[in-house]
Amino acid sequence: MSGTFVGMPAFPAAARDAVRDTTLRGNLRHATHTIRAKRANAVAELADWAELREAGKRIKDHTLRHLDHYLVRLEESVTAAGGTVHWAADADEANRIVTRLVKETGESEVVKVKSMATQEIGLNEALEEEGIRAYETDLAELIVQLGKDRPSHILVPAIHRNRGEIREIFAREMGEWGRPAPDGLTDTPAELAEAARLHLREKFLRAKVGISGANFMVAETGTLVVVESEGNGRMCLTLPETLISVVGIEKIVPTWQDLEVFLQTLPRSSTAERMNPYTSTWTGTTDGDGPRTFHLVLLDNGRTDTLADEVGRQALRCIRCSACLNVCPVYERAGGHAYGSVYPGPIGAILSPQLRGIGSEIDASLPYASSLCGACYEVCPVAIDIPEVLVHLRERVVEGGQVTRAGNKVVLQPAKGHAAERAAMRAARWAFTRPGVLRAGQRLASRTRRVHPRTLPGPGRAWSGTRDLPPVPAEPFRDWWQRTRNGKGGAR
């Protein structure tokens, strides 16, 4: 499998292949169900979950509504604390900045903390072209990198691999990258983790440059926060002489106190723990402790375009906890690769088409990668109404309309020759002819009625011109599907 998402087939085709893969489905089912159950318990421990969720939503919304103010504030406080701030309008610019910063250190290798922003911009590939080797140090990212593979889950990127495959990848590839796997390596998780520890330790101890993302940036104090489990983050953040953090501009919170909300909701939503093993915060540089030089690269890359969409901008509240993936009946069957993006699952279905535009077939099909069951909205710790945004984006695909691309307002034409409609129908048929997917969705749907979007699904509006379509929310989607499909023999 190639290391890039470019040229991916559209969601329905990729999903069709993925559901045939029984290993993948088994792994995914086990993983999502395990995390889902644990998460529910972790959340139930906090009697004020609803209030925390509402506060998280409001903090993020307020920040987004005044993002210019908080960005300038953050820049001031990071600079005052001894850091240097860079601004990157798109992926290319971010890659150029980071490459230049690494080159200025004279180093040709860097250690990396798992970061979706750097995956989004293809940083490793850009560095490689300039002769700089980037080592992923999160265990799952290491598995993905050694396996020349792509991540498939936000939190557990190698969820599609089982222990036997991991053993093989380690035995075959580690030697190419540094310390080889020990002879006679078995497939017990403890031994595999030990092999990774030894392999990576060699790299940590000599690394001069670390590259990270951040979970949060505090405008008031200039503090960055990284939340992790393994300690690879702490290694990358403290041992190198130079630290470069690439962070999306939406990751800001106004004040130090705001962290009290997210440090409660993020771990419980993501790993279902009261608190993740390690959280690191740093404010610029500290004499004698940690990197001597700190660079913050603020990344736009489609975020301001997303911000311009009054319905879609709520996607920027996302704190990347991955709870929505674990409850999604479509993700559970299709896996993360089918989404053709570093952001898989329900959040990927609304974030990727907004960050990248809906010009490609995969991006145009992503808003259809959902049964609109509403489970993702229920679990989201910042209350992103993913179904509402999905419906809104479907409307954009089918009807066109004004969108912002690279800061300019452009009018999007309706997808040509009913291509979008066909993509939609294929996606819908894929999900709706699989009773398991649908039943899971329906069960949740009946419990989550009240959170369903108030607007009519957009494509429904488009189709109703030529088909006899009832107002969709009044009738379960499945019934509608059965009826229209049986009545009309299905659309092609």
Binding site for ligand SF4 (CB under 6 A): 269, 318-324, 347, 379-382, 384
Residue 409 CB: number of other CB atoms within 10 A?
Answer: 10
Amino acid at 267: P
Reading the block at residue 32, the tokens are: 């999502």
Find the binding residues for another protein in span 117-136 (CB under 8 A): none
Binding-site member from 218, 325, 364, 376 for another protein (CB under 8 A): 218
Helix (H) or strand (E) holding 363: helix 361-365
Residue (144 or 379) nearer to another protein, CB? 144
Residue 62 touches which of ligand SF4, another protein, none (CB < 5 to 8 A by kind)? another protein
Residue (230 or 363) nearer to another protein, CB? 230
Q: Which parts of 190-328 are beta strand (E)?
A: 209-212, 216-218, 223-228, 242-248, 252-253, 278-283, 293-299
Residue 380 touches which of another protein, ligand SF4, none (CB < 5 to 8 A by kind)? ligand SF4
Q: How far is the CB of 306 from ligand SF4 (least distance, A)?
A: 13
Find the binding residues for another protein in span 53-112 (CB under 8 A): 54-55, 58-59, 61-62, 65-68, 71-72, 81, 87-89, 93
Find the binding residues for another protein in span 220-239 (CB under 8 A): 220-221, 223, 229-232, 234-235, 237-239
Instruction: Considering only the C-alpha atoms of the chain, give the largest distance between any 2 of them, rounded to a whole number of Å.
Output: 74
Question: x/- string (CB under 8 A) for another protein, residues 26-55?
Answer: -x--xx--xx---------xxxx--xx-xx
Residue 99 touches which of ligand SF4, another protein, none (CB < 5 to 8 A by kind)? none
272's torsion region: left (phi>0), alpha (psi -120 to 50) or beta?
A: left
Binding residues with another protein: total (CB under 8 A): 98
Residue (269 or 352) nearer to ligand SF4, CB? 269
Q: Are strands 401-405 and 84-88 parallel, antiparallel or unpaired?
A: unpaired
Does the protein bind another protein through residue 156 (CB under 8 A)? yes
Reading the block at residue 292, the tokens are: 């001597």
Find the binding residues for another protein in span 262-281 (CB under 8 A): 263-264, 271, 273-281
Of the candidates 138, 81, 129, 84, the one whose C-alpha atom is nearest the C-alpha of residue 103 is 129
Residue 323 touches which of ligand SF4, another protein, none (CB < 5 to 8 A by kind)? ligand SF4
Residue 341 touches which of ligand SF4, another protein, none (CB < 5 to 8 A by kind)? none
Question: Degrees (nearest 5) of the Cα angle 275, 295, 269?
Answer: 20
Residue (78 or 316) nearer to ligand SF4, CB? 316
Report the C-alpha dihedral over residues 299, 301, 303, 309, rounded to 10 degrees: 160
Find the binding residues for another protein in span 345-404 (CB under 8 A): 404
Helix (H) or strand (E) holding 408: strand 408-412
Q: How far is the CB of 78 from another protein (least distance, A)?
A: 12
b/e burial code for range 35-49 (CB count within 10 A of at least 16 → b): bbeebeebbeeeeeb
Q: How far is the CB of 258 from ligand SF4 (least distance, A)?
A: 15
Q: How far is the CB of 77 from another protein (least distance, A)?
A: 9
Residue (107 or 378) nearer to ligand SF4, CB? 378
Find the binding residues for another protein in span 292-351 (CB under 8 A): 298, 300, 304-305, 307-308, 310, 313
**What is the Cα–Cα distance from 79 to 214, expressed in whole angstroms?**
17
Find the binding residues for another protein in span 165-184 (CB under 8 A): 166
Burial of 4 (0-12, 13-18, 19+ CB in 10 A): exposed
Q: Are strands 223-228 and 408-412 parallel, antiparallel or unpaired?
A: unpaired
**What is the Cα–Cα distance from 351 to 314, expressed in whole angstroms?**
10
Residue (282 or 481) nearer to another protein, CB? 282
Q: Are strands 408-412 and 401-405 parallel, antiparallel or unpaired?
A: antiparallel
**What is the Cα–Cα distance from 456 to 384, expressed in whole angstroms?**
18
Site stretch for another protein (CB under 8 A), options 118-126, 190-198, 436-444, 453-461: 190-198
Helix (H) or strand (E) holding 463: helix 458-463
Q: How far is the CB of 266 from ligand SF4 (least distance, A)?
A: 8
Residue 72 touches which of ligand SF4, another protein, none (CB < 5 to 8 A by kind)? another protein
489's torsion region: left (phi>0), alpha (psi -120 to 50) or beta?
A: left
Q: How far is the CB of 39 from another protein (least distance, A)?
A: 13
Q: How far is the CB of 327 from ligand SF4 (least distance, A)?
A: 8
Find the binding residues for another protein in span 421-480 (CB under 8 A): none
User: Coil, helix or strand for 223?
Assistant: strand
Residue (98 or 323) nearer to ligand SF4, CB? 323
Of the candidates 329, 243, 307, 342, the one whose C-alpha atom is nearest the C-alpha of residue 4 is 342
Question: x/- string (CB under 8 A) for another protein, residues 403-432?
Answer: -x--x-------------------------
Q: How far is the CB of 377 from ligand SF4 (least distance, A)?
A: 8
Could you tell me how many helices (H) and strands (E) the chain has, helices first? 23, 12
